[in-house]
Amino acid sequence: MDTAKLTLPDQEIELPIIVGTENEKAIDISRLRGTTGYITLDSGYGNTGSCASGITFIDGEQGILRYRGYPIEELAGSCSFLEVAYLLVNGNLPNADKRADFLDKVTKHTLIHEDMKKFFEGYPANAHPMAILASMVTSLSTFYPDGADGELDIIRLIAKAPTIAAFSYKKSVGQPFIYPRNDLDYASNFLRMMWAIPSEEYEVSPAVRDALNLLLILHADHEQNCSTSTVRMVGSSQANLFASMAAGVSALWGPLHGGANQKVIEMLERIRDDGGDYAKYMDMAKDKNSGFRLMGFGHRVYKNFDPRARILKSAADNVLTELGLSDPLLDIAKGLEEVALADDYFVARRLYPNVDFYSGIIYRAMGIPTEMFTVMFALGRLPGWIAQWKEMRDDPKGRIYRPRQVYVGSGERSVG
Ligand code: CMC
């Protein structure tokens, strides 16, 4: 095994080098503190591997994203979201029997307990749907205590999340809840629960269903990002599945993470309402004192392009064409991308459109309200969180997550 030499003021030690499947290299520092008394300091964890994982591979330089070895482009072109969910959680794509069994189980667990419906009555009509989603996911652990049913709880969570999401929308517009139907696929069921009203038949548009399927697949996992690390962190204390997932929802909500999709649309609307002046907003994005960032741009890992953004850029065109819509925000987004990609500031920092830049345009075309965008992201990310949580819990060497710190506060002082 190769080793790295670390020279400290008082000693020199050798640390093992770990090499991943795709030749990713890491220095294993797990014995560093015990041997030397030193810790490492890595604010924002940009250089820290928190685990070894067999779920998702990303190469940020080459714009590669694979789930369980399958390129995202292939999965997006040929699978349903539930097949991808099965792949992430179980490690392989399902054969015909397993697929039928999984789909059947998910379909039959979509109802939420009638008592849970009462919770919705207590939320204000303008409650943010991410707050409702996080609370309702936590509440599932009151009905299925301690997540004690293992695989069944995983099925329940995947099945009930779209029902909760659609009910939170219905609550916000004051319409009656629409119950899930067992003859519909996952995406169609969700769309029907969102848009149907009891007095009318509702026909799911195949173009909208396919667009939703694509979006969910593209969001399904992204290795150790902020929300996934949160899920692992919470789960490492052996908190139950639902509690861990609710923590993931909360972490995703922030505008630097999943909340960026809502912020992108708000930014594009602002630019439109301000006469479409890109240059002004580019200048603001470059001015650190403005507090303004180009939302949907930049990524901690992708430094040349985000493969999900590429797929979504052309999907946005296709979906709008299929639905016979045009959206001035799509034109503004494309214009902004073109200007940013030619600008020295963005070039020097290798800032490219990320998954959130075009996803909002598609959600808008589908009729999803802006406040629901991050909920849509959460529905997609759920199987990834579950897979990562399960991998951590199944690891016999797993330990509670507990980073160290370098203390820089006051030395000892006395109140007297
Ligand atoms: N607009 C303007 N400047 C930016 C942007 C942006 N969107 N993103 C990064 N920068 C600058 C940043 O100011 C810094 O400049 P300097 O080196 O002069 O100080 C440099 O680029 C590096 O940025 P950073 O903040 O150190 O990078 P990070 O890896 O810590 O942050 C990020 C990554 C995604 C949080 C950040 O790029 C960002 O805030 N983007 C906008 C929010 C967004 O779109 N988030 C969605 C991310 S993808 C989906 C997801 O994770 O959910």
The per-residue pLDDT for range 1-27, each reduced to its tens digit, is 799 999 999 999 999 999 999 999 999
Both tokens assigned to 4: 């790295």
Atom 14 of ligand 1, nearest CA residue: 349
pLDDT for the residue numbered 283: 93
298 and 351 Cβ atoms separated by less than 8 Å: yes
Locus of tokens 């509670």: 400
What is d(CA 271, CA 332) in angstroms, rounded to the nearest whole number? 8
Rounded CA Rg of the chain: 23
203: DSSP letter: P
207 and 319 Cβ atoms separated by less than 8 Å: yes
User: Regarding beta strands 56-59 and 64-67, do their DSSP bridges make them parallel or antiparallel, or are they unpaired?
Assistant: antiparallel
CATH ID of 3-65, from 2.20.28, 2.60.40, 3.40.1350, 2.60.120: 2.20.28
Ligand 1 atom closest to residue 252's alpha carbon, by position in its atom list: 52
Ligand 1 atom closest to residue 357's alpha carbon, by position in its atom list: 44
pLDDT for the residue numbered 146: 72
pLDDT grade, residue 232 (50/70/90)? very high
The CA 298 to ligand 1 mean position distance, Å, reads 5
Kindly report which listed range (153-167, 226-240, 273-287, 397-411) carries the lowest average pLDDT score. Answer: 273-287
Q: Is 112 exposed, middle or buried (0-12, 13-18, 19+ CB in 10 A)?
A: buried
- Annotated catalytic residues are 299, 356
Region of residue 237 (phi > 0: left; psi between -120 and 50: alpha; otherwise: beta): alpha
pLDDT for the residue numbered 38: 97
Amino acid, res. 23: N
pLDDT for the residue numbered 277: 87
56 and 67 Cβ atoms separated by less than 8 Å: yes
The answer, yes or no, to whether residue 148 has pLDDT greater than 80, is no
Closest alpha carbon to 386 in 96, 91, 64: 91
What is d(CA 254, CA 273) in angstroms, rounded to the nearest whole number? 25
The answer, yes or no, to whether residue 250 has pLDDT greater than 80, is yes
Both tokens assigned to 39: 């810790």
pTM: 0.95
Atom 17 of ligand 1, nearest CA residue: 349
Helix (H, G, I), strand (E, B) or coil at 368: coil
The CA 16 to ligand 1 mean position distance, Å, reads 32
The CA 159 to ligand 1 mean position distance, Å, reads 34
What is d(CA 207, CA 120) in angstroms, rounded to the nearest whole number? 31
Q: Is the C-beta atom of 225 inside 6 A of ligand 1?
A: yes
Q: Over pLDDT 90: what percentage of the chain?
A: 91
- Mean pLDDT (whole number) for 140-169: 93
Distance of CA 301 to the CA centre of its chain: 14
Domain boundaries, the chain: 3-65, 72-253+382-394, 260-366
Q: Is the C-beta atom of 302 inside 6 A of ligand 1?
A: no
Both tokens assigned to 238: 């052996």
Architecture of domain 260-366: Orthogonal Bundle (1.10)
147: DSSP letter: G
What is d(CA 228, CA 249) in angstroms, rounded to the nearest whole number? 9
CATH superfamily of 72-253+382-394: Citrate Synthase, domain 1 (1.10.580.10)
Q: Is the C-beta atom of 285 inside 6 A of ligand 1?
A: yes
Name the residue of 253, 266, 299 whose CB sits within 8 Å of the most ligand 1 atoms, as the mutation to test its pocket: 299
Helix (H, G, I), strand (E, B) or coil at 309: helix
Ligand 1 atom closest to residue 300's alpha carbon, by position in its atom list: 29
More confident residue, 199 or 140: 140
Please give the order of strands across the beta sheet that includes 56-59: 56-59, 64-67, 70-71
Residues in the chain: 416
pLDDT for the residue numbered 149: 79
43: DSSP letter: G
More confident residue, 55 or 199: 55
- Condensed to tens digits (0 to 9), the pLDDT of residues 312-323 reads 998 998 999 999
Q: Is the C-beta atom of 170 inside 6 A of ligand 1?
A: no
Degrees to nearest 5, angle at CA 231 with 68 and 351: 70
- The four Cα atoms 14, 18, 19, 21 give a dihedral, to 10 degrees, of 170
pLDDT for the residue numbered 276: 87
Atom 27 of ligand 1, nearest CA residue: 300
Ligand 1 atom closest to residue 288's alpha carbon, by position in its atom list: 13
CB pairs under 8 A, 24+ apart, for 337-345? 339/278, 339/279, 339/282, 340/282, 340/285, 340/294, 340/297, 343/282, 343/286, 345/285, 345/286
Atom 16 of ligand 1, nearest CA residue: 349
The CA 299 to ligand 1 mean position distance, Å, reads 6
pLDDT for the residue numbered 21: 97
The answer, yes or no, to whether residue 78 has pLDDT greater than 80, is yes
